[in-house]
């Protein structure tokens, strides 16, 4: 049995065998956490067990990280990448998690969907008011996500401690996180997204299990409100392996997919506009209905920030890659904190070296900072796949930079947009995109509604066990063939 035991003497160690993905950790709340046989159900129970153990201080961060390594071997981790060690220790989260576990126990609800919901509902943001000071600080961070506390305080004429407290409240109440997009093509890794619908008779759950076994799957998504889903992948040594990957997708297409659309990333970005929020409500961007008129000229100056996929580069090492992956977790973290986090994972890179690597990544243009947050009334989430010409990609880019929050992914095939919108305006945003289908040069618009921005497997998870030498990953080309992992 794959386990992580906490002995009565207070030491922690991992004891594993092949019979189960279950994790054993002692917490003061073990009477609320049942044992189940389904690994997908056990996954979410163990996620909560780890988090509650950290909250109670009954396990160390080192033990929690070892337990997360066991979690990552559960196929459910690919379906719903969840790392409880990245969640801030928060009394409100702990209380809600315990209340949800009590409700599940009371009604004997221990299905995967019930347990998953019990965990995810813990982090739903209540529409708590945001103070003017906090909103002012957030607006400054929006314009420059990695601006220093001193620079923010000088800009706003506030004490650095006041700024720090505002950021802490925003992290706790509004899930504020500052992250980096990284151009991983520099490390010979290519991001790919496939949108699809399934053939009749093909069960989503079976496809999900098969994709979870594929070693280069980053994330999988489908909602109950649409037949369209997507899967994201990271393909190593892409110049030689992308043809193999494309061929393998075509090979399974006729038996699995009714519709499939492959996007190979060329640019990406994310942007937010807090100026639309005031007096506890959101304004629509001005002249929204005319933003996508094709007769209006668009120049690159009209675009939101873009990170280009520049291709494999020599001179980068596995250490550079590891630091880049760690930077994504907290773009504002100092080198000492990044070094400490890596040390807890058993990776020794001292703060001075981390600082040198971060400067190297920035100087080569491989990073783009952005914000993730949850503000009151920003409750509707959409993803749109827009298959269109380059001209229409330009018009979409110029339009979405005015949205409250947006993330975008470009390919030669079109543009993919994820956006959070106010519930009161969800119809206007939805109709704006669906109207594109009537435009010459737009082949299709596929919407996925009511989804939240969600995580994926980390870069370190996807490359675990792979060597990276002279710009090449130690990958057997046979592992690229996705058909080898499919039961269809």
pLDDT at residue number 113: 79
pLDDT at residue number 47: 92
What gap in Å lies between CA 262 and CA 259, rounded to an integer?
10
CA angle (41, 61, 320) in 5-degree steps: 100
What gap in Å lies between CA 227 and CA 200, rounded to an integer?
11
What gap in Å lies between CA 180 and CA 170, rounded to an integer?
18
C-alpha distance from residue 49 to each of 24, 40, 52 (Å): 9, 15, 5
Instruction: Assess whether the region 132-174 and the region 185-311+374-488 belong to the same CATH fold.
Output: no
Threshold 0.85, pTM exceeds: no
What gap in Å lies between CA 1 and CA 16, rounded to an integer?
5
Count of all residues that appear for the chain in the document: 488
Cβ atoms of 50 and 23 within 8 Å: the answer is yes
Q: Within 10 Å of residue 129's Cβ, how many Cβ atoms?
A: 10
The DSSP-derived string for 65-86 is HHHHHHHTTSTHHHHS---GGG
Extents of the domains making up the chain: 3-123, 132-174, 185-311+374-488, 314-363
Interacting residues of 45 by C-beta distance below 8 A, sequence separation 6+: 33, 34, 36, 115
What gap in Å lies between CA 265 and CA 302, rounded to an integer?
21
What gap in Å lies between CA 66 and CA 255, rounded to an integer?
39
Q: Which of 73, 77, 55 has the alpha carbon at shortest distance from 64? A: 55
pLDDT at residue number 2: 34
pLDDT digits (tens, 9 = 90+) for 277-326: 988 889 999 877 776 776 777 888 889 999 999 999 999 999 999 999 99
C-alpha distance from residue 91 to each of 53, 100, 163 (Å): 13, 14, 22
pLDDT at residue number 126: 57
pLDDT at residue number 125: 57
What gap in Å lies between CA 472 and CA 446, rounded to an integer?
35
Cβ atoms of 83 and 14 within 8 Å: the answer is no
pLDDT at residue number 4: 35
Q: Which of 81, 146, 163 has the alpha carbon at shortest distance from 120? A: 81
Label each residue of 142-197 as H, E or C: HHCCCCCHHHHHHHHCCCHHHHHHHHHHHHHHHCCEEEEEECHHHHCEEEEEEEEE
Question: Which three-class secondary structure state does DSSP give residue 16?
Answer: coil
Beta strands 257-272 and 307-308, pairing class: antiparallel
Cβ atoms of 4 and 16 within 8 Å: the answer is no
What gap in Å lies between CA 167 and CA 138, rounded to an integer?
8
Positive or negative: CA dihedral 375, 378, 380, 381:
negative
CATH code for residues 185-311+374-488:
3.30.70.920
Print pLDDT tens along the chain (488 aa). 233 333 223 333 333 333 456 677 888 998 888 888 888 888 899 999 999 999 988 888 888 988 998 888 888 887 788 889 888 788 888 888 999 999 988 888 888 778 888 887 787 655 667 899 999 999 999 999 999 999 999 999 999 999 999 999 998 888 899 999 999 999 999 999 999 999 988 888 888 889 988 999 998 887 766 788 999 999 999 999 999 999 999 888 888 999 999 999 999 999 999 999 988 889 999 877 776 776 777 888 889 999 999 999 999 999 999 999 999 989 999 999 999 999 988 899 999 999 999 999 999 999 999 999 888 888 788 899 999 999 999 999 999 999 999 999 999 999 999 999 988 888 899 999 999 999 999 999 999 876 555 567 888 888 988 999 999 999 988 899 999 988 76
CA angle (328, 450, 146) in 5-degree steps: 25
pLDDT at residue number 451: 53
What gap in Å lies between CA 358 and CA 351, rounded to an integer?
10
User: 352: exposed, middle or buried (C-beta count within 10 Å: 0-12, 13-18, 19+)?
Assistant: exposed
pLDDT digits (tens, 9 = 90+) for 2-49: 333 332 233 333 333 334 566 778 889 988 888 888 888 888 999 999
Q: Does domain 132-174 have CATH number 1.10.10?
A: yes
The torsion angles phi and psi of 400, rounded to 5 degrees, stand at -70, -15
pLDDT at residue number 8: 27
pLDDT at residue number 175: 84
């Amino acid at each position: 049995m794959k386990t992580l035991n906490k002995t009565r003497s207070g030491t922690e160690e991992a004891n594993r065998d092949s019979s189960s993905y279950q994790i054993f950790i002692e917490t003061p709340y073990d009477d609320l956490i049942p044992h189940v046989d389904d690994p997908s159900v056990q996954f979410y129970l163990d996620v909560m067990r780890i988090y509650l153990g950290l909250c109670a201080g009954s396990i160390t961060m080192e033990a929690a990280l070892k337990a997360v390594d066991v979690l990552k071997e559960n196929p459910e981790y690919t379906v719903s990448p969840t790392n409880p060690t990245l969640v801030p220790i928060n009394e409100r989260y702990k209380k809600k998690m315990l209340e949800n576990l009590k409700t599940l126990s009371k009604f004997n609800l221990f299905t995967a969907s019930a347990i998953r919901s019990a965990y995810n509902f813990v982090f739903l943001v209540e529409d708590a008011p945001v103070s003017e000071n906090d909103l002012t600080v957030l607006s400054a961070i929006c314009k420059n996500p990695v601006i220093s506390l001193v620079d923010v305080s000088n800009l706003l004429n506030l004490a650095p401690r006041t700024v720090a407290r505002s950021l802490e409240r925003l992290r706790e109440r509004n899930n504020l996180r500052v992250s980096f997009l990284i151009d991983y093509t520099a490390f010979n890794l290519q991001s790919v997204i496939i949108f699809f619908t399934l053939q009749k008779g093909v069960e989503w759950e079976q496809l999900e299990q098969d994709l979870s076994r594929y070693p280069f799957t980053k994330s999988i998504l489908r909602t109950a409100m649409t037949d369209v889903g997507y899967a994201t992948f990271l393909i190593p040594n892409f110049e030689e392996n992308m043809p193999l990957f494309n061929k393998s997708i075509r090979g399974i297409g006729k038996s699995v997919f009714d519709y499939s659309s492959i996007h190979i990333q060329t640019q990406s970005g994310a942007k937010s506009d807090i100026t639309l929020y005031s007096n506890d409500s959101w304004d629509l961007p001005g002249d929204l209905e005319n933003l996508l008129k094709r007769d209006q000229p668009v120049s690159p100056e009209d675009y939101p920030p873009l990170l280009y996929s520049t291709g494999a580069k020599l001179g980068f090492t596995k250490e550079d890659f590891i630091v880049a992956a760690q930077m994504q977790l907290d773009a504002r973290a100092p080198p000492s904190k990044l070094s400490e986090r890596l040390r807890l994972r058993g990776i020794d890179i001292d703060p001075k070296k981390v600082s040198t690597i971060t400067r190297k990544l920035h100087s080569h243009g491989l990073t783009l900072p952005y914000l993730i947050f949850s503000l009151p009334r920003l409750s509707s989430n959409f993803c749109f796949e827009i298959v269109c010409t380059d001209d229409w990609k330009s018009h979409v880019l110029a339009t979405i930079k005015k949205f409250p929050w947006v993330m975008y992914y470009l390919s030669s095939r079109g543009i993919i947009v994820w956006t959070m919108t106010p519930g009161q305006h969800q119809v206007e945003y939805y109709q704006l995109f669906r109207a594109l289908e009537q435009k010459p040069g737009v082949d299709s618009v596929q919407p996925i509604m009511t989804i939240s921005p969600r995580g994926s497997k980390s870069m370190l998870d996807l490359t675990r066990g792979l060597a990276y030498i002279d710009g090449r990953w130690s990958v057997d080309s046979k592992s690229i063939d996705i058909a080898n992992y499919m039961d269809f």
